Copies of this chain bind each other. A is one copy, B any other.
Amino acid sequence: MAKLDARLDLHFAALGDPTRRAILSRLARGPASVSELAAPHDMALPSFMGHLKKLEDAGLITTVKEGRVRHCQLAPDAFAPVQDWLGEQRALWNGRLDRFDDYVANLMKDRNR
């Protein structure tokens, strides 16, 4: 669980920045080089690379260097951990509702006695 936690930390932290979400949206349309990705963002290249590094550290994208160009693409199943966590929360919430139903059911039973 602790390992998963650390991964989720990186995932959510990476997603908590509009520049990085924009990069992901761009990559969802297809792979691109660093400078292609950087072009629409009014930011010095080293700053931009910092964002790419966080996305890669989080496992959201993968990059390969070919010659002097680095190609980037979305990682397969990039959002699976986030989806899974949301699913868990949903399950907890539903469990709560189930218990609430039980509670109400019991109340009714008691009342009818």
Contact = CB atoms under 8 A, between A and B. Distances in A.
Interface of A: 5, 8-9, 11-13, 15-18, 21, 24-25, 28-30, 40, 42, 74, 79, 82-83, 85-86, 88-90, 92-93, 95-96, 109, 113
B95 A40 contact: no
Quickly give the copy total for this chain: 2
B16 A9 contact: yes
A103 to B, nearest CB: 11
B17 A89 contact: no
Label chain A's interface by main secondary structure: helix
B89 A79 contact: yes
Point out which of A11, A17, A40, A93 has the most chain B C-beta atoms below 10 A from its C-beta. A93
A12 B13 CA distance: 6
A21 B8 contact: yes
A64 B8 CA distance: 29
Contacts of A86: 79, 82-83, 86
